[in-house]
Structure 1
Amino acid sequence: QKQSGHHLHQGVMVEGSLSVGANVRGEVDASLRSATIRNHSATHLLHKALRMVLGDHVQQKGSLVNAERLRFDFSHFEPMTAEQLAEVERIVNEQILANAPTKIEQMSLADAKAKGAAALFEAKYADNVRVLTIGADDFSIELCGGTHVKRSGDIGCCHVVSEVGIASGVRRIEAITGENALAYFREQEARVQRISERLKTKPEQVEARVESLVERNRSLEKELEQLKAKLASAAGSDMLSQVQEVGGVKLLVTELDGVSGKDLRGVLDQLKNKLGSGVIMLATADKAAGKVSLIAGVTSDLTGRVKAGELVNHVASQVGGKGGGRPDMAQAGGSQPEALPDALNSVPAWLENTLR
């Protein structure tokens, strides 16, 4: 950290004791310092690459550099596309491969600006500043007082891992360099290898294999839905034996097992056609998910006396839900499957009172 023109260092006491006026010997963690330097220098290349790809409106809004990664906040009005991110990464690595020597110069602020050095708009600088030039053909020139690689190639490589919005008009990009990037690549390669082994295919054929499996899954899901509809239809035919008569009106109340909520409509239509005249209350419950699906139907000759919406709400209110619909058909949902049996058992009495 820098305060009042002095660089402050923080360390850990390994041996001995501290006292005012004592001489101390400090050692820098070389691997930690090198990793941090790589990320710091890559930040400058990244900044310039972003301006090249997105435009000169890009300005630094914040940054964080440590041994693990670099984080750079910048002004931009929309998420970057995959193509833009790839181009930024390509430009940065092109400069790394150029292995150009890094130049660090001390000069007046006026000379630095004349040289084209970029600076933070809101920052205050002394009359004498430190200017960093990194990359081939003076690729990036910025005011900077930090530590840097001696040549751009010392960064090794740079990989962008994420780009997100953090505020209105401000984006954040994170990247890794050097050994951290290589470790990331090795991890990704190992993951692809494991996936290819699970899929019993070669790594280069994983994408095609996944696409084939996704398509197969879609086909099976469609086939399953068709089978469920047929099962629901067959179950509906068997339900006619459960019809009872209340006040001279046929009533069918039942809970369907193994039928999804969206299949209830088809079963209801089939039962209304077969019943001819009557009132129907169907339900299905997913106890694991805590969900209840309800549908009520009233044949057209009875809608003047019985409303499907009133019936479905009568049941729904007992299972933690509500619903609505037309006089001849209404649907509802609930969240208390355990209350469904008693709710369905209350329908005959409700219909009897309604018909009076």
Structure 2
Amino acid sequence: MKYMTTAEIREKYLKFFEEKGCKRMPSSSLIPDDPSLLLTSAGMVQFKPYFLHVKELDPAYVGTTTVQKCVRTNDIDIIGTTGRHLSFFEMLGNFSFGKYFKKEMCAWALEFSTQVLELPAERLYFTVFEDDDETIEIWKNLGVPEDHISRLGEDDNFWRAGPTGPCGPCSEIYFDQGPEVGCGKPDCKPGCDCDRFLEYWNCVFTQFDGQEDGTLAPLKTKNIDTGMGLERIAAIMQGVTNNYDTDVLRGLVAVGERLSGKAYESGDAAADLSLRIVADHSRSVTFMIADGILPSNEGRGYVLRRLLRRAVMHGHKLGIEGPFLSNYIDKIVEEMGSVYPEIVENRELVERVVASEEERFGATLRQGQAFLDEALAKLEGDTLSGKEAFTLHDTYGFPVEVTEEICAERGIKVDTAEFEACMTEQRERARAATKGSAEAAWSTYGGVHAELLKELGASAFVGYDRAMASSGVAALIKDGKRVDELACGDEGEVVLGITPFYAEMGGEVGDTGVMEGADEGSDLHIEVLDTKAPEKGLVCHQVKVVRGSVHVGDTVRAVIDERRRARISRNHTATHILHAALRQVLGDHVKQAGSYVGPDRLRFDFTHFEGVTPEQIKQVEDVANDVVMQATAMNIYETSLDEAREAGVTALFGEKYGDTVRVVEAGDFSAELCGGCHVSNTAEIGFIKIVSESSVGANLRRIEAVTSFDALAYMNREEDELKRAAATLKVTPLEVADRCAANAATIKEFEAERKRARQAEAEGSMADYLKDMIDVGYPLVVARIDGLDTGALRNAWDIIRGHMDKPGACVLGTVNNDKPVIMAAGTDEAVAAGFNAGAVIKAIAGNIKGGGGGKPTMAQAGGKDASGMDAALAAAKEMLGA
């Protein structure tokens, strides 16, 4: 058995199955094209459509072969404690969708193991499902000795996707690592919990369709789904019993050794654990960000943040100062960039996101660690309260998992039940605080709306093409109850069978307009104040009856406010264009994370890890307006969800789409799934003006923009303000910036001269304060010097200290613009003699209604009551024995 690198094994595997007629396909993204999955954790994920025959493989191939990057974190707490568990791993796979089955698969697996990898046949062992006699005979016919074949039960050797659906028996191949790593029991064999027999290949024979009654019906097409962990087989080929000793991972462990100065496997178990965790997590972090995942507080972004923060925490435990993960990224790109080009292409993005998160969490870690250390120092017993864990989470942003991990190292438990109770209370408070009166009103009607949907079915929306529709009144609601009539002056809800009114959805506000009696001579006039869909598919018009009365069964003409709808449509199409422009300028990691589309403005939230610069804002505007000015025709059509995804149409993660979806395309520039209202040509937008960009959370940004007449009004207001400023400065509008810069420079120089004058005055008057110096075991000056800022106050101490015959201390007070500040400072010698600046400030700050603190050598406090300054200084003298 010869040594092989990870890269050699990877290529030999893919080449082997290519030569058998399988199509080599690239790894799919860690973001699966499957809303039921958070992350890609197996090689077969991208082939689900092929197994279900939604897609068909080119008939020139008998199957496919891949090396799939995977992230799996269900056992994150175990990672690093064993040599097998990893959060990131590579899965070698090959798949057949009816072209070959058990006989071919078993023969190829044995051939690759013994002839390509040159594993000794006598050290290979095989397990099969206990009832799978067919596979046992296949292995025997291939020359496998009977005593190297074991039968295992359903838990070990039968694969199921769920309670029902495709399933089938498995056959696994094990490598005997030798009795020296085993349990020593005479009956030790594959399936034993010890490390002697290492499973490295799993062949799944998907041949049944599990029924609800538990029976197994044969599938029309028998499939092969086989996977081999690359890290595991690399360990075998490199003669090691630990994944972290293989070439790639050991290289990453070496990065940690270099940064920390600690040697791996030198007897420090805690350091070894941290070196393994950072090596593993750094790969997950690099690949997740490269695939467009950004740290957040939910979903896959939360998984990323947890891995990243855990890596940072263990780096700090190793004594690594400051941001350090870029060193790991460099090594990962060097080792794996040729196989996964996305980590090369997105390297800058990965480094910038990681650096931003490291800096943010580094501060969190320092603050939270201090609080936790203090809490644990006071702890009586072996359990930290959930309230304190919640304070760490809520006040300091300290993840509860980090708290649990630190506590576990010290033999302390965390009351997680109490923590969850605190979290639940917080969520309820947040919901109560954010629930608006309109939402509250609508929410009381939930039961009525559910009944109406069940009784009437979905409303027929015709508003994409029509501004008016005649329809019968299907139901009326007043004060949360169904009624037969709404009289003049009443407010309530009208449900129509057919409506042109768009209900608030997907960030777009609901339509407004009017309803009138359809009969000639009718004086019915109803104002439609809003349109919502409290139950999906049921359109409810929030109305006020202005004239006449309306009854269930009446026919009305429903007419939307076309001018308002046109403004909304312009803004909605603009959000799509801005989304695409942001991705073009900032990167493909940008994803929509919420929006508001009204008639007067639009708001667009998106994922991004840093502020957007003014230059980038201008670039986004230019790109977006270029599309607008090209008068690009919109193409809006319905298709199947699978076809839309195949075409690369942008879908929002977390949204639930039906089998038929609506695609909104702005030429070749953008394509999104959307049910909202849009213009027919981008020229209708006029132009787009971004009016603000801000942060609304970690890695979450927001832009607000206006279009068309609102954009023109905004620019006119800015121009008016510029002209007013120009008139005040007595320059032309184009000279305002230069004149403001010149004035600012002049003011800055005046301030500097004023500061120098004050400093000279203070320095000249220091002799007066030194006359009052008192010896309390060390020289002490207590003085009031008004008109100084904090910096000047500290400078005064420097001057006083320089004029003292021997090291001493001071307590200085100042009132500047009615704001009192007290500072205490002392030399190390004065502190050794009993002076404590922090204690002094704490004792006297109450006199100025303030608070503050600091170290024994330097402390200060600001206050609200300048009248108490003299009393504070007198208290300092008394305290210090002056």
Q: Same fold (TM over 0.5)?
A: yes
* Aligned match of 1:256: 785
Decide whether aligned partners of structure 1 residues 105 and 208 sit closer, same or farther in structure 2, where only a CA change above 3 A counts.
same
CA distances 1:20-49 after superposition (whole Å, capped 9, x unpaired): 112223332233211101101111212222
Which of 80, 102, 127 aligns to 2:634? It is 102
1:87 aligns with 2:619: yes
* Aligned match of 2:565: 33
* Aligned match of 2:577: 45
Say whether the 8 Å CA contact 2:690–2:704 is kept in structure 1. yes
* Aligned match of 1:147: 677
Instruction: Answer with 198-207 or 126-135: which moved more.
Output: 126-135
Separation (CA, whole Å) in 1 of partners of 2:599 and 2:699: 28
Say whether the 8 Å CA contact 1:256–1:282 is kept in structure 2. no
1:190 aligns with 2:720: yes
* Aligned match of 1:286: 815
Decide whether aligned partners of structure 1 residues 94 and 230 sit closer, same or farther in structure 2, where only a CA change above 3 A counts.
same
Decide whether aligned partners of structure 1 residues 338 and 297 sit closer, same or farther in structure 2, where only a CA change above 3 A counts.
farther
Write out aligned runs for 1:1-356 (5 A): 1=503, 4-5=536-537, 7-113=539-645, 115-135=647-667, 138-238=668-768, 243=772, 254-260=783-789, 261-269=793-801, 272=804, 283-286=812-815, 288-294=818-824, 307=833, 309=835, 317-320=843-846, 332-333=860-861, 335=863, 337-345=866-874
Separation (CA, whole Å) in 2 of partners of 1:77 and 1:246: 57
Separation (CA, whole Å) in 2 of partners of 1:277 and 1:244: 12
Secondary structure of the equivalent of 1:192? helix
Alpha carbon RMSD of aligned pairs, Å? 3.9
Q: Give the partner amino acid of 1:292.
A: I
Per the TM alignment, residue 156 of structure 1 is displaced from its structure 2 partner at its CA by 0.6
CA distances 1:66-96 after superposition (whole Å, capped 9, x unpaired): 1122222334444333333322221111111
Instruction: Answer with 315-324 or 85-94: which moved more.
Output: 315-324
Say whether the 8 Å CA contact 2:578–2:624 is kept in structure 1. yes
CA distances 1:268-299 after superposition (whole Å, capped 9, x unpaired): 24753xxx68988563331721323456799x
Separation (CA, whole Å) in 1 of partners of 2:648 and 2:862: 67
Per the TM alignment, residue 201 of structure 1 is displaced from its structure 2 partner at its CA by 1.9
* Aligned match of 2:187: none
Decide whether aligned partners of structure 1 residues 12 and 264 sit closer, same or farther in structure 2, where only a CA change above 3 A counts.
same
Per the TM alignment, residue 61 of structure 1 is displaced from its structure 2 partner at its CA by 3.0
Separation (CA, whole Å) in 2 of partners of 1:78 and 1:67: 29
Decide whether aligned partners of structure 1 residues 282 and 117 sit closer, same or farther in structure 2, where only a CA change above 3 A counts.
closer
Decide whether aligned partners of structure 1 residues 347 and 208 sit closer, same or farther in structure 2, where only a CA change above 3 A counts.
closer
CA distances 1:109-161 after superposition (whole Å, capped 9, x unpaired): 455455553333443444444332324xx322333332211211000111222
Decide whether aligned partners of structure 1 residues 146 and 9 sit closer, same or farther in structure 2, where only a CA change above 3 A counts.
farther
* Aligned match of 2:225: none
Say whether the 8 Å CA contact 2:779–2:808 is kept in structure 1. yes
Say whether the 8 Å CA contact 1:117–1:141 is kept in structure 2. yes
Separation (CA, whole Å) in 1 of partners of 2:598 and 2:748: 45
CA distances 1:281-335 after superposition (whole Å, capped 9, x unpaired): 563331721323456799x9xx79x958369966873343666666xxx765464
Separation (CA, whole Å) in 2 of partners of 1:36 and 1:118: 21
Q: Give the partner amino acid of 1:26.
A: A
Say whether the 8 Å CA contact 2:839–2:856 is kept in structure 1. no
Q: Give the partner amino acid of 1:256.
A: I
CA distances 1:4-31 after superposition (whole Å, capped 9, x unpaired): 5454444443322122112223332233
Q: Give the partner amino acid of 2:616.
A: Q
Say whether the 8 Å CA contact 2:841–2:861 is kept in structure 1. no
Q: TM-score w.r.t. structure 2 length?
A: 0.34
Q: Give the partner amino acid of 1:86.
A: K
Secondary structure of the equivalent of 1:148? coil
Decide whether aligned partners of structure 1 residues 11 and 112 sit closer, same or farther in structure 2, where only a CA change above 3 A counts.
farther
Secondary structure of the equivalent of 1:32? helix
Decide whether aligned partners of structure 1 residues 47 and 134 sit closer, same or farther in structure 2, where only a CA change above 3 A counts.
same
Q: TM-score w.r.t. structure 1 length?
A: 0.77
In structure 1, list runs of 5 or more residues that go unmatched.
none
Q: Give the partner amino acid of 1:131.
A: V
Say whether the 8 Å CA contact 1:318–1:340 is kept in structure 2. no
Secondary structure of the equivalent of 1:117? coil
Per the TM alignment, residue 169 of structure 1 is displaced from its structure 2 partner at its CA by 4.4
Give percent identity, aligned residues only.
33
Q: Give the partner amino acid of 2:675.
A: G
- Higher relative CO (Cα under 8 Å, sequence separation at least 6) belongs to 1
Separation (CA, whole Å) in 2 of partners of 1:121 and 1:332: 51
Decide whether aligned partners of structure 1 residues 59 and 281 sit closer, same or farther in structure 2, where only a CA change above 3 A counts.
closer
Separation (CA, whole Å) in 2 of partners of 1:235 and 1:58: 60
Q: Give the partner amino acid of 2:627.
A: Q
* Aligned match of 2:372: none
